[in-house]
Structure 1
Amino acid sequence: MNLDVVEQLIKMMEKSALSSMEVQWEGMKVKLEKSGVTSSEAFNEVKQEKIEKKVSNVDNKIEEGIAEKKFEEAEDISYIKSPMVGTFYSSPSPDKETFVEVGQRIEKGKVICIIEAMKLMNEIEAEEDGTIIDILVHDGDMVEYGQPMFKIRK
């Protein structure tokens, strides 16, 4: 066992909650002990880290559940989702007006945006009548298949 291995063991132990470590390798035996930390303190630190991680995971799941609930909360609310992956454009060209705006009433079949995919400009039409409540993407954003783009009230 060379000095570099011993130094690595010391560094690993400093970063860990272990209070002692014993390593046997190639006929050599190295025993390392930290002073000032009891094994019960080290155990409690590890236990506390695990508890904090679990609490964090639970908090994330609760937040995801709330977000999903809000997403589905009203029956008269629906979403127009992207039918493909591509770049979202809110107007036919940069110098033209946008297809739709918040508060605007739309009818089924009205062009509401363009999605560029593989150098093709695809006009996306409204699938139902409604009023635009929110536009969830910005001009030039990449959209994924099924990603909500518009929030509408039926």
Structure 2
Amino acid sequence: MLKVEEIRELINLVDQSSISEFTYEAEGTTITIKKESDKQAIVSGLVSNVPAPVKQESVRVEAPVQEINEEPVNVAATDNTAKANYDYEIVSPMVGTFYAKASPESEKFVSQGSSVDNDTVVCIVEAMKLFNEIEAEVKGEIVEILVEDGELVEYGQPLFRVKSK
């Protein structure tokens, strides 16, 4: 399977070239990139969770609906209320699985309203069978938890919002 960076590079190369259509097949995955007459590239195939390319005005990404497991979010309402309540985000230092507690039987490390210090463990991110404790690195109060227990997280993805003290 191609990485997102490789797909973006293919889109840019096709967009800048005289090629009008490009198809890539590997390991049961097919990606087709076609240029329209107004120089827009269309990407279709069995891809999931592909972010929009950098050149959004000239490239459109299409993927089957059943492959995308994201729900629409009212960004305006979320951002306006959240920005007033926090001034720091704890982000994931790696790609992995987010765990809110040390074991299924134990309590969550933190919840909304919890006070944290610089060295307070707020979650675990598992990557390649290694369980990495993530510390708050700020003194304050957790105002929002942005991911669910067991959810896959990306490098740099915000996990918690904190109102620092």
Q: What one-letter code is carried by the residue in structure 2 that aligns with 1:150?
A: F
Q: Deviations over 1:39-95 (max 9, x none)?
A: xxxxxxxxxxxxxxxxxx8xxxxx999589749944952110001000000000000
- Alignment root-mean-square deviation, CA: 2.8
2:92 is equivalent to residue 82 of structure 1: yes
The alpha-carbon distance between structure 1 residues 141 and 125, as it changes in their structure 2 partners (threshold 3 A), is: same
Supply the distance in 1 between the matched residues of 2:112 and 2:86 (Cα, whole angstroms).
Answer: 16
**Equivalent runs, 1:48-127 vs 2, <5 Å:** 70=80, 73-74=83-84, 77-127=87-137
Q: 1:101, 1:76 → 2: CA distance?
A: 15
Q: 1: distance between equivalents of 2:142 and 2:119?
A: 14
Once the two structures are superposed, residues 125-148 of structure 1 have per-residue CA deviations (whole angstroms, 9 ceiling, x without a partner) of 111101000100000000000100
In the alignment, residue 153 of structure 1 is paired with which amino acid? K
Partner of 2:155: 145
Identity %: 48
Deviation per CA, 1:110-136, whole angstroms, max 9, x where unpaired? 111000000100000111101000100
Look up the equivalent residue of 1:115 and give its one-letter code.
V
Unaligned runs of 5+ in 1: 1-56, 58-62
C-alpha distance in structure 2 between counterparts of 1:65 and 1:91, whole Å: 28
In the superposition, relative to structure 1, how do residues 65 and 88 fare at CA in structure 2: closer, same or farther (>3 Å)? closer
Amino acid in structure 2 at the alignment position of 1:146: G
Judge conservation of contact 2:116–2:142 (CA < 8 Å) in 1: yes
Taking structure 2 as the reference length, what is the TM-score of the superposition? 0.50
Q: Which has the higher contact order (CA 8 A, sep 6+)?
A: 1
Distance 1:65 1:142, change over 3 A: closer
TM-score where L is the length of structure 1: 0.53
Q: Which structure has the bigger radius of gyration?
A: 1
